Amino acid sequence: MQKVLILGASGSFGSNCAEAFTAAGWQVRAFKRGQEDMVAAAKGMDVIVNGLNPPDYKNWVVELPKIAQQVAAAAKASGAAVIQPANVYNYGATPGVWDADTPHAATTKKGKVRIEMEQILRESGVQVILLRGGDFLDTKESGNFFDFLTSKLGKGKFIYPGRTDINHAWAYLPDMARAAVGLAEMRGQLAPFEDVPFAGLTLTGEELRAALSQLTGRDVVLKPFPWLMMKLLSPFWTLAREIQEMRYLWDTPHSLNGARLQALLPDFKGSDLRDVLKTVTQS
């Protein structure tokens, strides 16, 4: 039986991976952060899934590179491959269909630190599989952005943070976790460093509104995001300041090219949009 160590098993990506790897017959071990040594915990593992993140973006610039170094050390000591969830912050505000060949042109501090983190892993000498997705759609309330956007759905309102006529990339986490399992199981056929975009769901704000209207059976109205309130709260609330920094993504048309993942996992199929929305809005 293959073994996987999940770092951040209580978080969004980590918990979904724990379920997906268990369902695929793997022996899953959750890392106890702050209670055990990562190198020791990784002993005998075939794969390490790094779902660790500082909460609410706190100290990302300092903490993410440290986490990458710790993960690399644990993988090197154990011989395990690393699966690292990645995001779209690296690409900056250049519109397009983004993939592994798209230049990393981040201008935000969060984008730059993600580039640094990935570079640490790339240069570590261990096998690394980056699985790069858009904004998370989770099966339970986890503090992700979509939870807030649908917080007034019961009143027929869908909050949207930017232009409603442009594409935006979303990643339904159970699907992304299944893709992680598939890549882990074929790791012996992969290059030492892989950057695999997860196309997920590409939707405009208007398409999401229409789908939510159809799902709920009522005319859902788009409401603007309270950016002014975020600006006013920024001096006192770290999360408001950090959310503001990523505002550009909601006015930058983008999607992720799923061709590489499809070539590697030709039988992989994502979930239907209606099923996804039914699940995430009932969490």
What pLDDT score was predicted for residue 250? 96
Domains of the chain: 3-281 (3.40.50.720)
Pair 83, 176: CB distance under 8 Å = no
Helices (H), 136-272: 145-149, 173-185, 205-216, 227-233, 238-245, 259-264
29: β partners = 5
What pLDDT score was predicted for residue 237? 86
pLDDT at 59 over 80: no
- The β-bridge relationship of strands 128-132 and 157-160 is unpaired
Nearest one of 63, 49, 19, 69 to 175, comparing CA atoms: 19
Report pLDDT digits (tens) over 65-106. 999 999 999 999 999 999 999 999 999 999 999 999 999 999
Give the model's confidence band at 57: pLDDT under 50 very low, under 70 low, under 90 confident, else very high: low
Q: Which of 54-58, 180-184, 190-194, 196-200 has the lowest mean pLDDT?
A: 54-58
Give the model's confidence band at 34: pLDDT under 50 very low, under 70 low, under 90 confident, else very high: confident
Pair 149, 161: CB distance under 8 Å = yes
Rounded Cα–Cα distance for residues 127 and 192 (Å): 5
Mean pLDDT for the stretch of residues 175-191: 98
Pair 239, 246: CB distance under 8 Å = no
What pLDDT score was predicted for residue 218? 92
Q: Which of 35-39, 119-123, 135-139, 143-147 has the lowest mean pLDDT?
A: 143-147
Angle between helices 205-216 and 273-281 (to 10 degrees): 70
Phi, psi (degrees; rounded to nearest 5) at 116: -60, -45
What pLDDT score was predicted for residue 283? 62
Considering only CA atoms, give the Rg of the chain. Answer: 19
Instruction: Give residue 160's identity as a one-letter amino acid code.
Output: Y
